[in-house]
Amino acid sequence: MASTTISRRSVAAVSIGFAAALVLGGCSSSVAAEIETNSAGSGIGSGITTTSSPQANIDLAATSSALTQLAQIPIKGRAPKTGYDRALFGVAWTDDVDVEFGRNGCDTRNDILRRDLTDLTFKDGNRCTIQTGTLNDPYTSKTIAFTRGQDTSSAVQIDHVVALSDAWQKGAQQLDTQTRTNFANDPRNLLASDGPANQQKSDSDAASWLPPNKGYRCQYVTAQVDVKATYGLWVTQAEHDAIAGVLQDCGGTAPTQQPVATSAPIVTSKPVVTSAPAPVSAPFKNCAAAKAAGAAPVRIGDPGYGPHLDGDGDGVACEK
C-alpha cells in the first residue's frame, strides 16, 4: 500500500511554559500546515544508530524560573499506592480531553509521534496513523528508524514524563477523573522515547532515574516541575533535591527561601479500589488469557503485554 511522505527538520525537546514551547499539531483539516511546524523527537522502529550527545542549549533564565517554580511545590512523603490502576487515568490515548491535540480526530499516541518524528509517512487516506519516520531520541541520543508493525512498534514508546503511578502517589488521587485523563494525555507530559529507556525508567521520579543523555536532563526536570505545578502535585524531599541539583548544574539560581517539608496528608476517606489485574512477569499467552485475567486491553508498558498480542502494532493489544 502506498504512503504519503512528509520530510522536515525538527528539534527534539519537551519544553514547558518557561522553557522552549512545545509545538502543537492536529489531525483536522489543518494537519498539513501543522506538520510543517512540528517539533522533533521520536519514532518507532528497529534501525538504531548511536549519535554524539550534543549539549542542549541552556537557558539560564529558564532554569532559574524552574528553580523558583520548584520552590513553590510542596514537599511531602509519598501517599500509599493503594487503589492505583491505569484505568483511573482514562482510556489510554483518548482524544476526548481538554488539552492540546484534544478532540482533533487523532489518538494521543499518534499525535505525539507526529510531533516528535521526522521524515513522516502516513497510512493512505489517514492523516493520523504514522507508518514510518525517524526518532532522534532525547533520552539516549540514539537515532531510531520507525516502521509501524507488530514486531517494531515497541522500539519507541510514549513516555509520561511524570509517571502516572508517581502522580497517583503525589496528589493525583485527589483529582477528578477528567483532570487525571487530561494529565495522562497532556502533550506537555508526553515524549516519544527509546522503548528500553522508557521501560528502565518505569514509574521512577527524578531521585531514582534521569535520562542517560546528560545534555537533556535540564529540559527533562524542567518539564517535570512544570507538569507537577500545573496539576497541583507534590514532590518528595529526595526528588526535590535531585531536580534542584540538576537545575543548579545547568546554571540556574536557586531562590533564597526554600519550602518547608511536610508529611503526606492523612487520607480519611476510603481510597478508590478497582479490580486491577494481578501483575504478571511474562506476556499473556494469548488475548483469551488476558481477558480471563481482566487485563484486556493490554498496553505497551503494562504487565502481560507482548508484541504477539498486538496485531496492528499500535501499542494496544487485545482491544476486542
**Cβ neighbour number for residue 52 with a 10 Å cutoff:** 6
Query: By the 8 A CB rule, do 70 and 161 touch?
Result: no
Give me the percent of the chain exceeding a pLDDT of 90: 57
SS3 58: coil
**Residue 118's beta-bridge partner residues?**
134
pLDDT at 176: 98
- On the 0-12 / 13-18 / 19+ scale of CB atoms within 10 A, 108 is buried
The candidate with the shortest Cα–Cα distance to 201, out of 181, 183, 187, 216, is 216
Instruction: Give the pLDDT band of residue 257 (cuts 50, 70, 90).
Output: low
Which residues have C-beta within 8 Å of that of residue 30, sequence separation ≥ 6? none
What's the chain's Rg over C-alpha atoms? 19
Query: By the 8 A CB rule, do 10 and 38 touch?
Result: yes
Q: Is the peptide bond before 297 cis (omega within 30 degrees of 0)?
A: yes
Query: By the 8 A CB rule, do 58 and 250 touch?
Result: yes
Query: By the 8 A CB rule, do 277 and 294 touch?
Result: yes
Residue 172 is classified by DSSP as: G
Residue 79 amino acid letter: A
**Cβ neighbour number for residue 187 with a 10 Å cutoff:** 22
Give phi and psi for 107, each to the nearest 5: -75, 160
Instruction: Give the pLDDT band of residue 258 (cuts 50, 70, 90).
Output: low
CA distance 242 to 155: 28
SS3 72: helix
Instruction: Give the pLDDT band of residue 259 (cuts 50, 70, 90).
Output: low
- Dihedral, CA of residue 161, residue 129, residue 196 and residue 152, to nearest 10: 180
Which residues have C-beta within 8 Å of that of residue 248, sequence separation ≥ 6? 67, 254
> pLDDT tens digits, residue range 68-121?
999 999 999 999 999 999 999 999 999 999 999 999 999 999 999 999 999 999
Give this prediction's pTM.
0.67
Residue 45 amino acid letter: G
CA distance 315 to 158: 10
Residue with cell 537545575: 247
- Compute the average pLDDT of residues 48-65: 60
Task: For the chain, give the mean pLDDT.
Answer: 79
**Cβ neighbour number for residue 99 with a 10 Å cutoff:** 17
Query: By the 8 A CB rule, do 202 and 279 touch?
Result: no
